[in-house]
């Protein structure tokens, strides 16, 4: 069986002039359940339909430094398995790894750059923590 690397989209992040107004607009017009960062989307794993997974849609102010060193207006977060092993493989392939793996209660994160300078966030999630944090407060 082929080893998985990316297992899905973990999030879509983009810059905008007024994140609060935009969250309100998306909530009122498209039905997104908003939170302090944007909206959390809940889904079921195709390999295990009883298991919930999450993707995050988040807005950032135009002047955010979070996307650096990329100058792009967006960043994609990919859900991954075995982030430490994946980072080692990426380094061996001479992929630019921007920072060190950081661990939080809801998963591990690291950032890389693609060949055109797009910053990519890799996330090895702990979905059970998201379930506790956002049960009943997600966009479905």
Residue 3 has pLDDT above 90, yes or no: no
pLDDT value of residue 59: 96
pLDDT digits (tens, 9 = 90+) for 16-70: 999 999 999 999 999 999 999 999 999 998 888 888 999 999 999 999 999 999 9
State the chain's mean pLDDT as an integer. Answer: 94
Percent of the chain, pLDDT > 90?
85
* Chain centre to alpha carbon of residue 78: 6
For 95-107, what is each residue's pLDDT tens digit? 999 999 999 999 9
Contact indicator for 38, 83 with CB cutoff of 8 Å: no
DSSP the chain: -PPPSEEEEEEEEEEES-HHHHHHHHHHHH---B-SSEEEEEEE-SS-TTSEEEEEEEEEETT-STTTT---SEEEEEEES-HHHHHHHHHHTT-EE-S--EEETTEEEEEEE-TT--EEEEEEE-HHHHHHHHTT-SB-
Domains in the chain, please, with CATH? 6-134 (3.10.180.10)
Q: For the full predicted model, state whether its pTM sits above 0.75.
A: yes
């Amino acid at each position: 069986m082929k080893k998985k690397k990316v297992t899905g989209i973990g999030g879509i992040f983009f810059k905008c002039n007024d994140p609060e107004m935009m969250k309100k607009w998306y909530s009122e017009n498209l039905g997104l359940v908003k939170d302090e960062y944007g909206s959390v989307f809940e889904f079921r794993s195709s390999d295990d339909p009883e298991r919930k997974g999450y993707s995050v849609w988040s807005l950032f102010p135009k002047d955010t430094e979070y996307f650096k060193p990329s100058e792009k207006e967006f960043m994609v977060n990919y859900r991954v398995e075995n982030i430490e092993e994946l980072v080692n493989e990426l380094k061996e392939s001479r992929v630019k790894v921007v920072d060190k793996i950081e661990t939080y209660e809801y998963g591990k994160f690291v950032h890389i750059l693609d060949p055109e300078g797009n910053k990519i966030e890799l996330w090895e999630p702990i979905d059970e923590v998201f379930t506790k944090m956002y049960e009943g407060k997600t966009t479905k």
